[in-house]
């Protein structure tokens, strides 16, 4: 009698019992983990020359996982960050299996020992105020789609929202009376309130007048009145940036994404002298270290700091350590 393959049941229990019920993971986390396992199972099946239905837990060894991660990074042209996200999803499953079925502890330990890959820490790409204005001027606001795009990009810059936070926005989350603000739901289901400029609120009002939505319906929708997706926004934004680059050449060397508006908000708040802890709350960062990253990115702030220091003059008195020969002679004897 052939023993039943426990792997499918373990994977179902991982998603249904562990992630959804016990951990109460967000739908975004579940979908991200799902996509990782889809790719992994197809990769292992191709490597083994058999179908996905024949895969056992023993087939997903540490060596297979490392090969998959290499494929995800180089074969699929993914980033190191994406590679690490894939590994996090795989680790989470094997951690669950180690507690669920001690028979596989040794295999789980080998997979859990696979390290995350370090990546260079580059300064975030952000937009200067003139570049933001050039991009915002591109959508044709005489059309409903152009108005929607202009309002969405303006909201991203005003609030520093992540793209999905903005796309999930419903009218009930906006305060249309002074003091104007928006309630955003970010990573980890954390809620925060961000102030809005009167101009942004006016834009939102005009969009809702032209395309009414109920309090619980998403504001930003496509031509079929379905919720707009992040990939669609990236596609449209690329076209706007290309058009804006004709009059603003500095945009040609920048990789602009919806997240670039969030970076721009942070850097411009730093330049305006806003306290770093306020910016942390504004952007919804868990760690202040993340917010401090923007304090290092603003070249204009650094230039002004350098001007305050001033250039040393040629006739300035040298430091005492250079003039005190006896002290230097004493140090040489140590």
Residue 255 is among the residues annotated as catalytic for this protein: no
Which entry of 262, 263, 268, 280 is annotated as an active-site residue?
A: 262
187 is catalytic: yes
Does 268 participate in catalysis according to the annotation?
no
DSSP labels for 127-145? --HHHHHHHHT-S-TTSHH
Q: What one-character DSSP code corresponds to residue 185?
A: E
Catalytic residue among 91, 100, 141, 187: 187
Active-site residue, from 192, 234, 259, 293: 259
28 is catalytic: no
Query: Tokens 């793209």 — which residue?
Result: 163
**Per the residue annotation, which of 33, 180, 240, 294 is the catalytic one?**
294
CA nearest 265: which of 156, 104, 115, 114? 156
Helix (H, G, I), strand (E, B) or coil at 19: helix
For 314, phi and psi rounded to 5 degrees? -65, -30
- The answer to whether 72 touches 86, Cβ cutoff 8 Å, is yes
| Residue carrying the six token digits 């591109």 | 138
Is 22 exposed, middle or buried (CB count within 10 Å of its CB: 0-12, 13-18, 19+)? exposed
Q: How far apart are CA 32 and CA 26, in angstroms?
A: 10
- Catalytic residue flag (residue 71): no
Please tell me which residue in 150, 162, 263, 280 is annotated as part of the active site: 162
Active site residue 175: no
Cβ neighbour number for residue 134 with a 10 Å cutoff: 21
| Backbone CA torsion sign across 87, 88, 90, 91 | positive
**Catalytic site positions:** 162, 187, 259, 262, 285, 294
């Amino acid at each position: 009698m052939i023993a039943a393959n426990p792997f499918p049941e373990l994977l179902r229990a991982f998603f249904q019992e562990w992630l959804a019920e016990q951990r109460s993971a967000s739908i975004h986390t579940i979908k991200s983990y799902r996509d990782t396992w889809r790719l992994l199972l197809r990769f292992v099946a191709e490597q083994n020359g058999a179908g996905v239905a024949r895969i056992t837990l023993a087939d997903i060894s540490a060596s297979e996982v490392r090969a998959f991660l290499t494929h995800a990074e180089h074969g699929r042209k993914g980033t190191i960050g994406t590679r690490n996200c894939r590994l996090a999803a795989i680790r989470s499953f094997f951690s669950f299996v180690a507690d669920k079925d001690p028979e596989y502890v040794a295999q789980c330990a080998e997979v859990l020992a696979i390290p995350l890959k370090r990546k260079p820490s580059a300064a975030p790409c952000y937009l200067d105020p003139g570049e933001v204005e050039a991009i915002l001027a591109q959508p044709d606001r005489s059309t409903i789609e152009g108005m929607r795009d202009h309002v969405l990009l303006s909201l991203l810059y005003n609030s520093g929202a992540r793209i999905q936070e903005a796309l999930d926005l419903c009218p009930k989350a906006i305060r249309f009376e002074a003091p104007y603000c928006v309630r955003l739901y970010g990573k980890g289901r954390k809620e925060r309130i961000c102030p809005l400029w009167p101009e942004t609120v006016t834009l939102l009002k005009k969009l809702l007048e032209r395309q009414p939505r109920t309090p619980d319906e998403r504001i930003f929708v496509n031509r079929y009145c379905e919720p707009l997706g992040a990939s669609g926004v990236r596609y449209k934004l690329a076209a706007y940036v290309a058009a804006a680059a004709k009059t603003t050449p500095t945009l040609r060397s920048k990789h602009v994404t919806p997240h670039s508006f969030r970076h721009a908000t942070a850097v411009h708040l730093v330049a305006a002298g806003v306290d770093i802890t306020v910016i942390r709350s504004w952007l919804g960062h868990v760690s202040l270290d993340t917010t401090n990253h923007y304090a290092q990115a603003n070249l204009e702030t650094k230039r002004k700091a350098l001007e305050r220091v001033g250039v040393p003059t040629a006739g300035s008195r040298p430091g005492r350590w250079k003039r005190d020969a006896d002290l230097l002679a004493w140090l040489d004897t140590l």
